[in-house]
Amino acid sequence: MPFPPEDFYRVAEALKDRRVPDGEGRYRTIAGRAYYGAYWATCVSACRAHQINPPTNLPHEALSLRLAGTRGDEEVRTLGDLLNGLRLLRVHADYTLTKPLTEDVADDAVVDARKVIEMLPAVEPRLPRIDPAG
């Protein structure tokens, strides 16, 4: 069953009223927030590693694909694969209303985002430079 667009509003309304949203709207929100947590943590680490001050947003696709395409550093590549998977899931959550997003997938997004965040201190000095978004 397609995700009704007005359910995005219902999630916002529930959060505004300090209620926990339920169902697929909740899962889509979890997937998006998990991605952005991992994305921004990665941006901050990459900016710190390359003295880009203040830390700024880096192009989403370029960042995840560059990290996922890293050769010779399995940890950086793994981090990139996780970040890219989260990015694609976030796109699905926000734009693919005809395909459901399940609780299990949302839970996996949280696990993957935690992995990215936990990996960053070890790989930060080896992160490649990605030019900031213009």
Domain membership flag for residue 19? yes
Q: b/e string for 17-38 if b means 16 or more Cβ within 10 A?
A: eeeebeebbbbbbbbbbbbebb
Q: How far apart are CA 50 and CA 55, in angstroms?
A: 10
The mean pLDDT of 59-77, rounded to a whole number, is: 97
Identify the CA nearest to 89 among candidates 75, 69, 74, 108: 108
Contact 59, 134 (CB under 8 A): no
Question: pLDDT tens for residues 102-121?
Answer: 999 999 999 999 999 999 99
Q: Is residue 133 one of the residues assigned to a domain?
A: no
Domains identified in the chain, total number:
1
Asked whether residue 101 carries a pLDDT value surpassing 70, the answer given is: yes
- Would 105 be classed as within a structural domain? yes
Average of pLDDT values for 86-106? 97
- Domain contains 134: no
pTM above 0.75, yes or no: yes
pLDDT of 133 over the 80 cut:
no
Is residue 111 in a domain? yes
Structural domain includes residue 1: no
Distance CA 125, CA 109 (A): 25
Average pLDDT, the chain: 95
Q: Residue 1 above 70 pLDDT?
A: no
**Residues 128, 77 contacting (CB under 8 angstroms):** no
Residue 17 in domain: yes
Q: Is residue 27 part of a domain?
A: yes
Domain that holds residue 36: 6-126
